[in-house]
Chain A
Amino acid sequence: MTEPMGRFTAVDAIGRGLQEAPVLRQGIGVTWLLAGVGAGGRVVVPVMIQQAIDRGIVGQDEVRVDLVGWFGLIAVAALVVAGIAQRTAIVRLGARSERALYDLRSRLIGHIHRLSLADHNDERRGALVARVTSDIETLTQFFQWGGLAWLLNGTLMLIIAAVMLAYNWALALTVFVVALPLAFVLHAVQRHLSRAYDRARARNSEMLSAVSEIVTGAETIRAYDAGEYVRGETNTTVKRRADAQIRANIIGAFLFPSGEVFSVLTVSAVVVMGVWLGPASGLTAGAMVGFVFLTYRFLEPVAEFTEVLDQTQTAVAGLRRVLAVLDMPTGPPQPAETQSLPSGPLDIEVRRVTFSYRSRADRALTDTPVLRDVSFRIPAGQQVALVGATGSGKTTLGRLIARFADPTDGEIHLGGVPLRSVSNAELRGRLVVVAQEPFLFDDTIAANVVFSRPGARAADVARVVDDLDVRDWLDALPDGLATRVGERGDQLSAGERQLVALLRAGLADPDVLVLDEATSSVDALTEVRISRALTRLAEGRTSIAIAHRLSTAARADRVLVLEDGRLVEDGPHADLLMAGGTYSRLYAAWMAATSASGVSVSGA
């Protein structure tokens, strides 16, 4: 949640943003020009009224209707031109900003997918999703409303100011001087307002969390008769939300009226000043009337501007967060020069590997190593189990072999080639990881299997199903391979999700298999299917199982035992048991715990 945010000033952020989204800059000058012409349309009416009064109505012997008619025609033409220009400007800005934000979004997604796994933990996922969704949305909102307002109203105010100066500089200055304090008043109100709205938003999400607890915890609440308790807590959040919203509303209620008050102050000042100057200064009645209208139009957008200012701040903050993610380094670096892996089965060599997780706050500071000086070699085709207590480093070692991260020290070679020199595409084609809690997309089983080899044919999938001997399971499902698995696969049991993951790995047909075994319990029948499929999958491949069930270790060719990040034992299951070391202790504890009869015998 704590990206380095302070690195960009607002101006830097906007500059960087324009660099990252070059589409935005294209043709911005033309858009601005069109907006200027469009905004010009808004002074047509006041100017026409002035002209009509001065030349056609007042001070003439007879009202010159024909002249006023001509002015009317000119005004209509001007309005039509201005309208077309304004429409074009809005479309240009809107379409371009959407295209730019689409580009930015796509780049951001690609970047996030390439971030190191360490940056992808559960706590940060929401934040990363927010970068791609709501933060980019603040920019969209800005371009659709705020950006447009800057463009149209900003130009309009400039034009009106110019017209007023052209009419009479003294009156124009009167307007500016009297209206100036409005900017400060509005700024102050706006500051309070945005704080009040932040607060209201926070209270709103507190309320929603409380309500969603009532819903998701419905069973727990009833099991513990906690209805009154949660109702009380929730209603407090409901009230606090209403209070915060009302507060924000009241502050907001002063925003528009302050503009109103300043309008009448300014208009009165213009009248008094104009009367004092009198016709001797060259001022006319029409100009005075025109000025009154212009003053209203000049101050109209000011109140809107303050809202736009807030939106702009939000957008810049969103942009900063997006840029900060784009600046995060991606996962293990890609080699400048790649080396190809030899064909056929691959051996794995781990050479004096040490690994520490970097602490985020201070890159120089590293935690105590998770792996210390680990070395071993796995010949091609061997099946190895990594065993150790929780926190012994076995999962980390698996991740290093799969190159989700690089060792802090030491090297890992695959088929004699340093992992750092293998291209990502080739590595992922040859080495496959099956995660502890396999992830499934909300799609069919078939689609989830084919994920590992897009474009695989139905026959390929059928072959893998037979190879792994899970046809009976699939046939028992309502729609076989076409069965939808639900969100995260929640329509399937934990064991069934693993079966899908194994099919997926099988379809990829890798040379090396890294298998993070599941800890969660699985019903017995599925358990049997999983171990059968696993045995078949591992056949003929180099495989490393991060074993939580020691039955897996017992079946492996060789067991590597880790303790506190060090490799302490290495050998076949039977030998290690005989040796009576760490492994035999782990195994005895596991057997005692998982044996039904063992306990009941001792209890008898």
Chain B
Amino acid sequence: MSDPSPDAETGAHRLGRVRRAIDLVGSMVRLHPRLFAVAVLGAFVFAVCTVAASFAVRWVIDHVILPRFEDGAVATAAVVGGALLVIGIGVVRAAGVVIRRSFAGMTQWRVAETVTRDVVDRLVRQPASWHQRRADGDLVARAGVDVDAAISVLAPIPFTTGTILLLFISSGWMLYIDLVLGGVAVVVFPLLIVLNVVYQRRVDRHFDAAQDHLGSFSAGVHESFEGVQLVKAYGAEQRETDRLAAIAGEVRDARVRAVRLRATFETLLEVVPSLTNVGIVVLGAYRVRSGDVTVGELSSVVFMFTLLVFPLRLIGYTLSELPRSVAGWNRIRSVLDDPLEPDPVASIGPASERYGIEVDGVSFRHAGEAADALHDVRLAVDRGEVLAVVGPTGAGKTTLIEVVGGLLPPRAGAVRLAPGSRSIVFQEAFLFAGTVGDNLSVGRAHDESVLWEALRMAAGDDFVAALPHGLDTMVGERGVSLSGGQRQRLALARALVRRPTVLLLDDTTSALDPTTEAIVLGNLRTVASATTVLMVASRPSTIALADRVAFLVGGRLVAVGAHRDLLGAEPAYRSLVEAFEDDRAGDRSGVSGVSGVSGVLGAATIGSDGS
């Protein structure tokens, strides 16, 4: 963190990395220190018993096997004692492993739980504006793969600690038996650790590359299958297959490279300890001849060395995993350490008695943009009034809804709302994985009749009644799949369940067919007549339901007034609405002369002129 420069692998840099790794482990262990301590204890038991096991082997060879085969006899007590010694030590050693692994697992996953809860807490408490500046997948990764990466280092740490202890005890033990034989073993240990670390680092690079290619392959396959109708429509099946196969080929090539590297190192890691053992035996022959060691002592050094090969590999693994854990932990911290932004809702004041919504000189700018998305917007909506927001694409309609709804904080100006609850319905209906009822009540207790009434108003009661379990039907990922219109009706009903005093609709009804839309908006008018409604409208039929229209262009409020007045007074508004109607101008030849079908724009204009 305080590294001066990233230029090279300087000593300071390495030291910084080690310190970060220690910080990481320290801050995670602090969350559940007792579990961790028990795990380390288990590892120590294991280490001590490993040394003891080699002692037992030596004892059995010197006191049971050699007497029997050299001298011809051995006391039964020695045989039984030797067997019990070997078994007893083995059982305690196994118990050490059970304790270490169980408690290491508990440490690891309880830490994961605590950290994930903290991340979730942040995700819930940061306002929508914070979320909008971040990619969804990225945030999910913080609580998912990043936590998993950070904690992955915790599992092998007790073992590593135990192994380091083991290394010291056994090195001491082997040196005590014989300085020469022990010396050979002690020199080879660090070599093996280095070999392991180098191996893990290098092979990981290839596996990471393969993983990256696999990621683009999965994305490509998903896209291609999603567009399968298009692929078929243009007979491009083979072309798409070839394109994806090329990416799969890169996965294969990276993997083959990794396999080659792995084969070399696996073999080295197998052969080097064996060669060392051969060396120890040859040297041992000298030492036995000179009378410095017994055959049992020689065997026990070989045995001990063999036992240590596997734990050494794990040390290498742990060390090479550390950078990944540190990276994951840093990404988690970036979310946890991000200061909480104030909730824009808190800045919403009460509107004066006459108005449902007051927008007072509001400006808003999206992060990283040079221009305001909303600029000095002043708008007052009477209580119970339905106001449509109309404007071309990019006019700031959705932003206006989100600022009024308390999702985005205004840069300047203020929003005031009539007291009571507000509901927002978005363009894309978001449904939680859960039952229809859960989705309507969102964590509050509501009477079923209230839910059904809201559904009826949103023209959703019929389809919900037809679902296999009615309100208890599961929707979302693992439930029934609903059409866009059905989802939108549920979202509308959810908004109405709370009997909002302010209802904000962001082009909500566009997923409904015009007839249903008219019914739903009619219901809103009659039943929820006290509710102030601000709605983004893109269809003439939607506009027609509003008392007044606010015409928004380029983030500025151009005009507010009745639809017919705006048609006359605002040429830009007129051309925007007419553009839609133009599409229907083609009908006019067919329509003319047919009674009962009226309502092309021309008629409306004449009507408004006449009134």
Contact = CB atoms under 8 A, between A and B. Distances in A.
A520 B393 CA distance: 15
Interface stretch (A7-15, A356-364, A433-441, A457-465): A433-441
B372 to A, nearest CB: 19
A595 interface: yes
A531 B66 CA distance: 99
Interface string A321-332: 000000000010
Secondary structure of the B contact surface, majority rule: helix
A595 B600 contact: yes
B230 A48 contact: no
B585 to A, nearest CB: 8
Interface stretch (B193-201, B412-420, B573-581): B573-581
B584 A594 contact: yes
B528 interface: no
Contacts of A242: 109-110, 112-113
B90 A213 contact: no
Interface string A531-555: 1000000000000000001110011
A289 B61 contact: yes
A62 B291 CA distance: 11
Contacts of A120: 225, 228-229
Secondary structure of the A contact surface, majority rule: helix
A288 B299 CA distance: 12
A263 B235 CA distance: 63
B443 A573 contact: no
Given A246-B106, A554-B586, A285 B70 contact: yes
Given A228-B443, A439-B227, A289 B299 contact: yes
Interface stretch (A110-118, A335-343, A372-380, A560-568): A110-118
Interface in A284-324: 284-285, 288-289, 292-293, 296
A235 B139 CA distance: 16
Contact of A69 (B121, B282, B511): B282
B303 to A, nearest CB: 7
A436 to B, nearest CB: 10
Contacts of A268: 82-84, 86-87
A432 B234 contact: yes
Interface in B28-50: none
B285 A65 contact: yes
Contact of B580 (A133, A288, A390, A527): A527
A127 to B, nearest CB: 10
Contacts of B2: none
A62 B267 contact: no
A528 B579 contact: yes
Contact of A577 (B84, B241, B477, B594): B594
B98 A257 contact: yes
Nearest to B507: A521
A5 interface: no
Given A129-B218, A590-B514, A285 B65 contact: yes
Contacts of B314: none
B231 interface: yes
A438 B230 contact: yes
B222 A249 contact: no
Interface residues of B, number: 177
A106 interface: yes
Interface stretch (B177-185, B447-455, B538-546): B538-546
Nearest to A522: B538
Interface stretch (A91-99, A168-176, A407-415): A91-99
A94 B224 contact: no
Given A87-B263, A239-B113, A519-B513, A215 B599 contact: no
Q: Which of B66, B94, B238 has the most CB of A within 10 A?
A: B94
Contacts, number: 506
B79 A272 contact: yes
A488 B226 contact: yes
B392 A238 contact: no
Interface string B230-269: 1111111111110011001101100110011011101110
Nearest to B286: A65
Contact of A215 (B86, B123, B233): B123
B424 interface: yes
A354 interface: no
Contact of A271 (B82, B117, B286, B402): B82
B540 A595 contact: yes
Contacts of B117: 235, 238
A423 to B, nearest CB: 9
B87 A264 contact: yes
B241 A102 contact: no
B582 interface: yes
A79 B423 CA distance: 75
Contacts of B245: 102, 105-106, 109
A367 interface: no
A139 to B, nearest CB: 12
B247 to A, nearest CB: 10
A381 interface: no
B168 interface: no
Interface stretch (B6-14, B320-328, B458-466, B601-609): B601-609
Interface string B69-113: 110101000010011101101110111011011101110111011
A33 interface: no
A29 interface: no
A86 B269 CA distance: 12
B237 A114 contact: yes
Given A268-B87, A433-B233, A45 B222 contact: no
Contact of B226 (A42, A48, A125, A523): A125
Interface stretch (A157-165, A274-282, A345-353): A274-282
A322 B57 CA distance: 51
A499 B442 CA distance: 39
Contacts of B274: 41-42, 44-45, 79
B611 interface: yes
B278 interface: yes
A367 B332 CA distance: 52
A601 B607 contact: yes
A288 B69 contact: yes
A522 B100 CA distance: 63
A26 to B, nearest CB: 16
Interface stretch (B18-26, B124-132, B354-362, B553-561): B124-132
B226 A439 contact: yes
Given A113-B241, A404-B229, A53 B432 contact: no
B426 interface: yes
B590 A593 contact: no
A201 to B, nearest CB: 12
A573 B540 CA distance: 23
Given A41-B271, A402-B233, A596-B563, A249 B113 contact: no
B579 A587 contact: no
Contacts of A404: 229, 232
Contact of B105 (A246, A260, A554): A246
Contacts of B100: 253
A539 B338 CA distance: 58
Contacts of B262: 90, 94
A438 to B, nearest CB: 7
A428 B233 contact: yes
A279 to B, nearest CB: 5
A166 interface: no
Contacts of B255: 94, 98, 140, 144
Contacts of A250: 101-102, 105
23 contacts: A41-B271, A69-B282, A69-B285, A110-B241, A123-B481, A129-B221, A207-B144, A211-B143, A223-B424, A241-B112, A242-B113, A250-B105, A257-B98, A271-B64, A279-B68, A288-B61, A293-B306, A524-B577, A550-B587, A577-B591, A587-B597, A591-B591, A595-B540
Closest 5 CB pairs of A and B: A597-B604, A229-B443, A249-B105, A264-B90, A428-B235
Given A94-B256, A555-B587, A594-B539, 8 more contacts: A58-B70, A90-B267, A120-B225, A223-B424, A428-B233, A524-B580, A597-B599, A599-B541
